[in-house]
Structure 1
Amino acid sequence: MPTAGDSGLDVPALTLLWAARETGLLDALLTETGSAGEAADIAGVTDRAARVTVDALVDLGFFYRTDGAVEPTNRALGLLATRDIRSIGRVPAELDQFAALASLPAAMRADEQAARDQSADEQPGRPQRDRQQRIRHRLGADYAVDAPTVQATVDGILAANPGADQVLALADGPGRHACELAERGPAVTLLDGHEVIDAVDPLLAGSGVEPVARSLMEIDPASFDLVFLVDGMWPSAPAENRFTLRAVERALAPGGAFVAAEPLRGRSDAMPAVAAKALATGLGEPYTEATIAGWCAAAGLGEVEASDVPGTPYQAIVAERHSED
């Protein structure tokens, strides 16, 4: 959740940039022309809208003026291409989140949500392309998480089992936490879907992290001393979280530990943002410590404890797998 890199866009700036993206004005400026007038014709917006928007985007540092036109700056690289996860930054994912939040009233109404889903189904190929693009945007934002937050989060994870030799990172995106753990000694496996693994595999070369694209239920039983998940429970529905925890219990060796670095309801200052994002983009919601502890107990995990992770919006929820007698 907390990221560094390219930041500092307030709501009006995000609104303007989002509108430029949605109308096609931004794409026209980035790929077709550097002229506000020509971009207006391509995007079908008014000359005034294009002129005012271009002036604002120059002031925001996304473009600079040259020979009566504008050219993209380094800040616009993440808007121009998403091939390299490292160059995307925060802004594309922030725009995706803004778009989702802007449609939050519809997401809260079942009939309007069904209509949106049906409309998406009527556009062959587009939902899949949009989904892949959003995945890369999210990975770019995750890659931009500031180093102190990554290190503090890993401190909280590793405290659950400091002597762990085999660690499983669940859905760790570009692997910032997995790589930080690998630098501290354990062998780390990063588990995610094929789309994510294919995208981040080049980033993990030489890191000591093994990327694996498979289901958690396909992992060899009792093969890891430590399993962790960062920001992974609140976006998911209760049934999915219960299934994940049963699979985690199966993957843990006796005496091993599971850690969820999660903003807990009633304890994290990030709750309003998490609640809005969960409603707009996911199936979950902010959960309490008691709720997650109950799921852990039902999955066969015991001795659940939660503690704040200093310098982050997270609490570390730790559950141990019982040692065999």
Structure 2
Amino acid sequence: MPTAGDSELDTPALALLWAARETGLLAALVDGAGDEREAADAAGVTERAARIVTDALVDLGFLRRVDGAVEPANRALGLLATRDLRSVGTVPAALDRFDAYAELPRTMESGVPPVDPDERVRHRLGAAAALDDATVEATVDAALAANPDAERALVVADGPGRHARALADRGVDVTLLDGPAVIEAVEPLLESTLVTLRAGSLVDVEAAFDLVLTVDGAWRQGVEENRFTVLAAAGALSPGGAVVLVEPLRDRSAAAVEVAAAALATGSGEPYPESTVAEWFVDAGLAGIETSDVPGTPYQAVAGRLDDSGI
């Protein structure tokens, strides 16, 4: 969720950290360039800029001063490596979003958002891994409310599998479905859990699940992609099963403006109104469509069930 688990950095702090990353000053500082004068030379920025940014990063806890030099503090760990997604945290993804917002005028002109390199995908997965437990549990509660007796669940595009793991902890037999690159990246996080990993597409999934859950997926996609996703999700249900989309609805969510900006800057979707999402469910042959707020979050859960006959 873009509004949950975010870095506590405000806009000025993000701007300083982003500028330091873009100029190479951040790399010079965390790679042990010595003091800010040497870092300024390495990055090609003024000594004044290096001094001000270094002081700010010390105050923010990313750097510390030792014997006249600066070195990375624990908070900078996620800026140094992305191999272990649990160490990435939320800051790199927050910087990526800031970068995407800076490019928003060009994106609005071209209609084509910047392509995420592999490193940024790992940043996004790291931020998702840092999602707070209360939000995860509230989301899973909302999903299970659509089918409390669910025994088998398919969780789609759940990245590091926070919701999949929470469902498995409730005794549900869970499969996490995502693209091959994401599954490869998150496998180390989930290899010791009861979650089954599957790389592929919804169209390849046979009907066998009592619950299909997607979180934060619809606003990243266009209308036709979402229509197809809900149809394929319905096709993966066993009779009486439910599809649940947990999303920030444009006409109900306090996060709608924030999500609209993120969608415009990074993808092809937008926050959709409740009526549009319900239409996808109807078109997929789902009934008993209901929308509920997810407590403690600005998100809503839209749920629909497949008739017990499977028709």
**TM-score under structure 1 length normalisation:** 0.92
**Counterpart AA for 1:253:** S
Out of 145, 158, 163, the residue aligned to residue 177 of structure 1 is 163
The Cα of 1:211 is off from its aligned counterpart by 1.1
Name 2:66's counterpart in structure 1. Answer: 66
Instruction: Indicate which of 298, 301, 307 corresponds to 2:292.
Output: 307
Q: 1:26 maps to what in 2? A: 26
Contact 2:259 2:271 in 1 (8 A): yes
Once the 2 structures are TM-superposed, how far is the Cα of residue 34 of structure 1 from its aligned partner? 2.9
Q: Take 2:302 and 2:233, find their aligned partners in 1: how far apart are those partners?
A: 14
The one-letter code of the counterpart of 1:156 is A
Alignment partner, residue 46 of structure 1 = 46
Matched residues in 1 for 2:209 and 2:117: separation? 31
Contact 1:3 1:141 in 2 (8 A): no
1:187-218 CA deviation, whole Å, 9 max, x = no partner? Answer: 00000011111111111122210111111111
- RMSD (Å), alpha carbons: 1.4
Residues 210 and 242, structure 2, Cα contact 8 Å, conserved in 1: yes
Aligned to 2:77: 77
Distance of 2:224 and 2:4 partners within structure 1: 29
Partner of 1:122: none
Q: CA deviation at 1:77?
A: 0.2
Residue 121 of structure 2 corresponds to residue 135 of structure 1: yes
* Partners of 2:228 and 2:249 in 1: CA distance: 20
The 1-side partners of 2:217 and 2:238 are apart by 22
SS of 1:33's equivalent in the other structure is coil
Matching residue's letter, 1:49 = A
Tell whether the 8 Å contact from 1:225 to 1:252 is kept in structure 2 after alignment.
Answer: yes
Say if 2:133 is the partner of 1:147: yes
Q: Measure how far apart 1:7 and its partner are.
A: 2.9
2:32 & 2:198 partners in 1: Cα distance?
Answer: 39
Letter in 1 for 2:59: D
Match of 1:121 in 2: none
> Which digits, 9 at most, give the CA deviation of each residue in 1:267-308, with x for residues without a partner?
110011011001111101110111011111112222211011
Question: Which aligned pairs between 1:100-139 and structure 2 lie closer than 5 A?
Answer: 100-110=100-110, 131-139=117-125
Distance in 2, Cα, partners of 1:175 & 1:144: 11
Q: By how many angstroms is 1:323 displaced?
A: 2.0
Map of 2:231 onto structure 1: 246
1:263-274, aligned counterparts within 5 Å? Answer: 263-274=248-259
Letter in 2 for 1:68: G
Q: Does 1:3 align with 2:4?
A: yes
SS in 1 for 2:117: helix
Residue in 2 aligned with 1:211?
197
Task: Give 1:132's aligned amino acid.
Answer: D
- Report how far residue 32 of structure 1 moved: 4.6
The SS at the match of 1:61 is coil
Q: Does residue 1:195 correspond to 2:175, yes or no?
A: no
Aligned to 1:225: 210
Any idea what the Cα deviations from partners look like across 1:34-74, whole Å, max 9, x if unmatched?
Answer: 32111111111111111111111101110000011111111
Question: Is 1:3–1:90's contact at 8 Å kept on the other side of the alignment?
Answer: no
Unaligned stretches of 5+ in structure 2?
A: none
Indicate which of 276, 293, 306 corresponds to 1:321: 306
* Partner AA of 1:13 in structure 2: A
The question of whether the paired residues in 2 share the 8 Å contact of 1:296 and 1:319 is answered with: yes
8 A Cα contact 2:7 2:94, kept in partner:
no
SS at match of 2:83: coil
- List alignment gaps of at least 5 residues for structure 1: 118-126
How many angstroms apart in 1 are the aligned matches of 2:130 and 2:298? Answer: 16
Q: What secondary structure, in the 3-state scheme, does the structure 2 residue paired with 1:305 have?
A: strand
Per the TM alignment, residue 3 of structure 1 is displaced from its structure 2 partner at its CA by 3.3
The 1-side partners of 2:231 and 2:293 are apart by 25
CA distance in 2 between partners of 1:276 and 1:7 (Å): 17
Match of 2:273 in 1: 288
The aligned amino acid for 1:23 is T
Distance in 1 separating the partners of 2:32 and 2:76? 15
Shift, 1:109, TM fit = 1.2
